[in-house]
Amino acid sequence: MPSPLARASGRGGDATLIVAAAIAAATSYTTIYTDFNIAVVAAGCAVLGALVALRRTPQVPSRAAICVAVLIGLIPQWWRPPIGNVDRGPLFPLATGLGMLAGVLLIVGTLVVAHRRWLLGALAWLTMSAAATLVVQASARPAIDVWIIFQQATRGLLDGRNPYEMAFSGVPAGQTDDCFNYLPFTFLAALPGRVAFGDVRYGELLVLLTGSAMLVWVAWRARDQREHAGLGMLLAVLALSLPGVLRITQQAWNESVVLGCLFAAVALLLSDRAGLAVVPLALALASKQHVVLVLPLWALWPRFGWRRALASGTLAAAICLPWLLANPGRFYGCTVRFFLDLPARPDSISLWRFLPAAAQIPVVVALTVGALLLAHRFLDRSTAGLVLGCGLVFAAFDLANKQSFENQWLLASQLLVAALACRAVEPRDRAQDEAGPRTGVATGRGPAP
């Protein structure tokens, strides 16, 4: 019989999963600020912070909670599919239908007996992968700066040009057209899609699906050693199937590259290949600037450590160095100064607009540092704790940042779900040993198989 603390911890896993699904659904249903979605994300962050402070998470959620989370996610997928901003082709309904079918398969896989979950989990992953691929094929010419600058930057790179010295044509009015404002691995990851199929989104999708497949494979390998590995596999697929994934893929937002790299690093960490995890973490750091916010957590976690974190940071810097040396002023202006000078958006899904001008930046810093300290103080030192800490830090940053939208919130939600998958897959003795007497956290037995 599980102890009261273990049962409470299990309920914490349920609450964490519902928070992640609710945030992803609310920010996908209405992708810019509304009173509804800001209330959901603010309440979700508060609940998540409380769960961490009370040491009630991460934990394997119950099967009922997984079903509820999937159902929450299906609502915006049905009512608000990604129909805007693109020229839709005849296969578009099939793409969105497959996205919802993946959710249905996850529910069925959760309800069936444990030994049948593997097939349904694999089918759900294949279905969602097909949906993401088809949504690119069926969504031509997104009228958004991200896709346009990636298309032109990769073409320029093939022609021997420096993307950071380029200006971009055909960008909708009011959007970015004078800077490539991401870090270099984003266009390097997108380049294969541009070369092979003429569209950068296929390259970004390849990174996402590779990282996700690695995490699913880790769960598959643990099926004979871990009681709840089947649920872990379903949770890993759920992280790929949350509402908003199809829109992120369709619009070429590069959170898909960040998530794929982080998933690969986590999978390698779970497979006792921490040295190899240095590489995908470095690639994530060389993709988007704010990924550096979670690097202190990787440095503090024993399974990775500060030496590997330093190596990841060094490798990321080496990836950026050629473009920095080619034109220091332009590289700094596009990747750093651009964001410092970026005007606040009134439709940002964040608290920035409610804060006095003098308090806006201090609140962003305070929330981000507070999340780091909360994770460091209260999360156990398992891989699950590390991944949940990353989701917590990103959520805290998004809550007060001057431009936070669906893509940023989805990344945080996906990491929260992935943390629960890690808890289900990770050897229990490892989680207990790494939690140790320092936190006294109870891992609990989780749900019945």
pLDDT class for 415, splitting at 50, 70, 90? very high
Query: What pLDDT is stored for residue 439 in this prediction?
Result: 42
411, 258 contact by CB (below 8 A): yes
Say whether pLDDT at 4 is over 60.
no
125, 240 contact by CB (below 8 A): yes
Say whether pLDDT at 12 is over 90.
yes
Q: Over the chain, what is the mean pLDDT?
A: 92
Instruction: Supply 156's token pair.
Output: 């320029």
pLDDT class for 423, splitting at 50, 70, 90? very high
Query: What pLDDT is stored for residue 266 in this prediction?
Result: 98
> Rounded to a whole number, what is the distance in angstroms from the first to the last CA of the chain?
15
pLDDT class for 388, splitting at 50, 70, 90? very high
What are the domain boundaries of the chain?
4-439
Question: Average of pLDDT values for 150-173?
Answer: 96
Question: Average of pLDDT values for 409-428?
Answer: 95
State the pTM of this model: 0.94
Taking only the tens place, the pLDDT of each residue in 352-370 is 999 999 999 999 999 999 9
Query: What pLDDT is stored for residue 437 in this prediction?
Result: 35
Taking only the tens place, the pLDDT of each residue in 19-76 is 999 999 999 988 889 999 999 999 999 999 999 999 999 999 999 999 999 999 999 9
Three-class SS string for 332-384?
HHHHHHHHHHCCCCCCCCCCHHHCCHHHHHHHHHHHHHHHHHHHHHHCCCCHH
What element of type H or E holds 414? Answer: helix 406-425
Q: Read out DSSP for 88-142?
A: E-TTHHHHHHHHHHHHHHHHHHHHS-GGGHHHHHHHHHHHHHHHHHHHHHTEES-
pLDDT class for 225, splitting at 50, 70, 90? confident
pLDDT class for 146, splitting at 50, 70, 90? very high
Instruction: Supply 6's token pair.
Output: 């273990």
pLDDT class for 429, splitting at 50, 70, 90? low
Query: What pLDDT is stored for residue 440 in this prediction?
Result: 40
Taking only the tens place, the pLDDT of each residue in 294-350 is 999 999 999 999 999 999 999 999 999 999 999 999 999 999 999 998 888 889 999
> CB-based burial of residue 16 (10 Å sphere; 0-12 exposed, 13-18 middle, 19+ buried)?
buried
Say whether pLDDT at 241 is over 90.
yes
Taking only the tens place, the pLDDT of each residue in 173-183 is 989 999 999 99
CA distances 54 to 4, 347, 419, 436, 439, Å, are 14, 33, 17, 16, 10
Comparing CA positions, the residue from 230, 237, 221, 236 lying closest to residue 449 is 230
